[in-house]
Amino acid sequence: MGGVVELREAIGSRLVIQPGVRVDHYNVFGTAWSPAMAASGWIVPNLRWRTATGRSFRIPTYTELYYRDPNHLASADLVPERAWSTDVGVDAYARGWTASATAFGRWDADVIDWVRAVPTERWHTTNIRDVDTRGVELGVTRHIAATVWGVRYTGLHAEAPTLALLSKYVLDYAPHALSLSAATTWRRVDLGSHVTYTTRADGRDYWVADLRVAHPVGRAEVYADVANAFDQTYQEVTGVDMPGRWIKVGLRLR
């Protein structure tokens, strides 16, 4: 069981603080306290700063604790992962433009990974090492009449102690990701698209496009989402193929 307490307090006209704490209790893993603090304020009327710091806690999944097959042997002796993270950024607004820049860092301890000494052994889970991650996120949005255009870039760098073991996914991350988006309304039909180009740490790269169409019908909305519209073949985790093109059609009441 668990609970969350948050407080939002404005100090004067330019500063807002938001402290909070989450408490989780498990029969097996005990009690974890996860405090957090966020703050934001205006430097000038069109320029805002923001920052946040917090602690997180993740218990092992059922797969990491108990999964077994001819190539995997999970361990029930795992302990939870713990991490501290922080970010600081600015947002600027001017004449239909919005620009944002954020720098962030995360420091994980007791990270869980599947490892093995040689390829002929079974993968097994263990709390193997600490991982430090740093990165930046940059974004620009432009509003032109009923159309919104957006560009976003995320850069990551992760460091972990060298292992004399084969690791399955701790350092399988995306150092670079660039996304383009657009949304507009034409004759009461909402149209949207999102294209992302990603490069992985091992040199793999791929791009994926998603599309959306929606139309209001009385108090309802009929929509269709097309994911991976061009049926790209790619893997976000090595060895695990992501779905090809798929379409979702639905009706949403408003």
With vertex at residue 225, the alpha carbon angle to CA 220 and CA 231, rounded to the nearest 5 degrees, is 170
Whether the per-residue pLDDT at 111 is higher than 90: the answer is yes
DSSP letter for 64, please: H
Q: How far is CA 83 from the centre of its chain?
A: 15
pLDDT digits (tens, 9 = 90+) for 129-162: 899 999 999 999 999 988 999 999 999 999 888 8
- Statement: residue 172 has pLDDT above 90: no
User: Sign of torsion, CA 239 112 196 201?
Assistant: negative
The confidence score (pLDDT) of residue 213 equals: 96
Span 213-227, mean pLDDT?
93
* Residue closest to 160 by CA, chosen among 125, 116, 129, 124: 129
- pLDDT one-digit tens code per residue, 11-64: 987 899 999 999 999 988 889 999 999 999 999 989 999 999 999 999 999 999
Please, are residues 99 and 140 in contact by the beta-carbon 8 Å criterion? yes
Q: Are 214 and 190 in contact (CB under 8 A)?
A: yes
- Best CA proximity match to 190, nearest among 206, 211, 168, 169: 211
Q: Which fold has domain 40-253?
A: Maltoporin; Chain A (2.40.170)
> Is residue 98 within 8 Å of residue 77, measured between CB atoms?
no
- State the pTM of this model: 0.85
Name the token pair of 168. 């399955």
Per-residue pLDDT at 254 exceeds 80: no
Give residue 133's pLDDT: 95
| Residue 80 in tokens | 């939870």
In the prediction, which pLDDT does 237 show?
Answer: 79
